[in-house]
């Protein structure tokens, strides 16, 4: 009975959020097409002039703007089946029903008033407001150095490209919102059920996600929580590893079950044929095809090259990379010295979280090898995790060794 009772908050959250997702999508499709037609057409003209994959300023794959998907998002604002009711239109999304397309809840009402140029500006403004807010809270509730590492991590994602692409923005909004909620609520007076927190974050991310780089909404908050648990609660490797597994499973269940709910709603609203279409796409994403066979190692290499700003013809010299990492690590050890090994082991799960993007690339290899020019941003988890781990295992001086576990 105790275990069943502990599942009650998860079931309650799941039912409520699925209902909110479904109803909000149906409601925004009650907006008459005539209210948005003009702004949709003018916005599409702007993006068609720019091209499907424009490069601004940097002219590298890592800075491509995905206008192709943004145009699909705008085209989906107007249902291509006149006989569909608002529920059917909100589920079909112009025969693209395998995703929730939660961006419609915001984009459709705003398009009544604004065109794409204006919405890009508002999107950029909101990005930086949420980014700075989350960084300020991190500096206030953890340590300033954690906020610095976080800012460096987000800055490496080419914000100039992120803030001009709606597809890129949504996952960052979920990440920033999740961090703001966690850092502003997680205190002695208002404790957060962390497993439920990750479950809800996974659900919300799936509502907005296009498989862009969803793992950042798990990895960055999880790495930060592991740091806090080790430092503030003196937890060891075993406790942290178990918490890492439980949190990851909770996020994964929230993400997967939200997807499954969408497929179930699609069957009810549109018929079972759409379910089999979705399953064929799922099979293609997991197994590839004759035209696009899976190359899991190649997928990791492509994403690494995009992250390191290496052109397609360029070669990553692993020996040079390893030598640089070893040299930097050696200098840090000489400069500050390592903490005791028990403390270092306690922080090791942060490094395991840092490896999550590469697990994602191996599982979702088809999507990640085709769209490597934006899926590379999943490696923000790697950068934040590695930087946080290095900072954590080095001594901080006589006033900063409160997290040592030496007896």
pLDDT, tens digit, 9 for 90 and up, residues 8-31: 899 999 999 999 999 999 999 999
How far is residue 58's CA from residue 51's CA, in Å, rounded to a whole number? 16
pLDDT, mean of residues 144-168: 93
Q: Does 333 map to a domain?
A: yes
Q: Does 15 map to a domain?
A: yes
Closest among 6, 88, 4, 18 to 257, alpha carbons compared: 18
Confidence of residue 313 (pLDDT cuts 50, 70, 90): low
Confidence of residue 400 (pLDDT cuts 50, 70, 90): very low
How far is residue 402's CA from residue 29's CA, in Å, rounded to a whole number? 55
Closest among 201, 200, 203, 251 to 353, alpha carbons compared: 251
Instruction: Tally the domains of the chain.
Output: 1
Q: Does 401 map to a domain?
A: no
Q: Is residue 189 predicted with pLDDT exceeding 60? A: no
Confidence of residue 312 (pLDDT cuts 50, 70, 90): low
Average pLDDT, the chain: 87
Residue 335 structural domain = 2-393
pLDDT, mean of residues 134-146: 94
Q: Is residue 289 predicted with pLDDT exceeding 70? A: no
Q: What percent of the chain has pLDDT over 90?
A: 57
- How do residues 334-377 score in pLDDT, each as one tens digit? 666 767 788 888 999 999 999 999 999 998 888 888 888 899 99
Q: What is the pLDDT of residue 30?
A: 93
Residue 275 CA neighbour count, 13 Å, CB half: 13
Q: Does 407 map to a domain?
A: no
Alpha carbon distances (Å) from 95 to 90, 274, 278, 281, 316? 10, 8, 10, 13, 40
CA angle, residues 194, 200, 8, in degrees to nearest 5: 75
Q: What is the pLDDT of residue 335?
A: 65
Confidence of residue 79 (pLDDT cuts 50, 70, 90): confident
How far is residue 144's CA from residue 302's CA, in Å, rounded to a whole number? 34
């Amino acid at each position: 009975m105790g275990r069943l009772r502990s599942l009650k908050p998860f079931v309650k959250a799941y039912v409520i959020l699925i209902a909110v997702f479904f109803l909000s999508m149906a409601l925004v499709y009650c907006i008459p097409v005539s209210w948005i037609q003009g702004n949709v057409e003018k916005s599409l003209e702007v993006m068609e002039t720019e091209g499907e994959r424009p490069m601004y300023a940097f002219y590298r794959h890592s800075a491509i703007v995905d206008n192709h998907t943004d145009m699909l998002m705008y085209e989906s604002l107007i249902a291509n089946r006149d006989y569909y009711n608002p529920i059917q239109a909100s589920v079909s999304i112009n025969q693209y029903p395998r995703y929730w397309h939660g961006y419609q809840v915001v984009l459709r009402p705003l398009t009544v008033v604004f065109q794409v140029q204006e919405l890009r500006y508002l999107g950029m403004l909101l990005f930086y407001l949420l980014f700075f807010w989350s960084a300020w809270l991190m500096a206030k509730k953890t340590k300033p150095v954690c906020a610095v590492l976080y800012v460096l991590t987000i800055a490496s994602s080419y914000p100039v490209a992120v803030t001009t692409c709606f597809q890129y923005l949504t996952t960052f909004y979920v990440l920033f919102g999740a961090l703001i909620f966690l850092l502003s609520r997680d205190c002695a007076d208002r404790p957060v059920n962390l497993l439920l927190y990750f479950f809800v974050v996974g659900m919300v991310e799936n509502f907005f996600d296009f498989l862009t780089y969803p793992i950042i909404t798990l990895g960055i908050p999880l790495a930060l929580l592991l740091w806090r648990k080790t430092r503030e609660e003196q937890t060891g490797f075993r406790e942290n590893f178990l918490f890492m597994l439980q949190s990851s499973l909770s996020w994964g269940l929230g993400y997967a079950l939200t997807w499954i709910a969408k497929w179930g709603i699609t069957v009810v609203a549109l018929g079972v044929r759409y379910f089999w279409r979705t399953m064929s796409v799922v099979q293609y994403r997991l197994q590839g095809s004759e035209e696009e066979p899976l190359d899991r190692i190649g997928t990791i290499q492509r994403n690494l090259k995009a992250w390191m700003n290496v052109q397609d013809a360029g070669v990553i010299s692993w020996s040079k990379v390893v030598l640089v990492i070893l040299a930097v690590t050696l200098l840090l050890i000489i400069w500050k010295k390592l903490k005791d090994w028990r403390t270092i082991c306690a922080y090791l799960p942060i490094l395991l979280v840092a490896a999550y993007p590469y697990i994602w690339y191996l599982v979702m290899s088809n999507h990640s090898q085709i769209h490597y020019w934006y899926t590379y941003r999943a490696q923000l988890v790697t950068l934040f995790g590695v930087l946080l781990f290095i900072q954590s295992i080095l001594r901080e001086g006589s006033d900063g060794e409160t997290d040592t576990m030496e007896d």
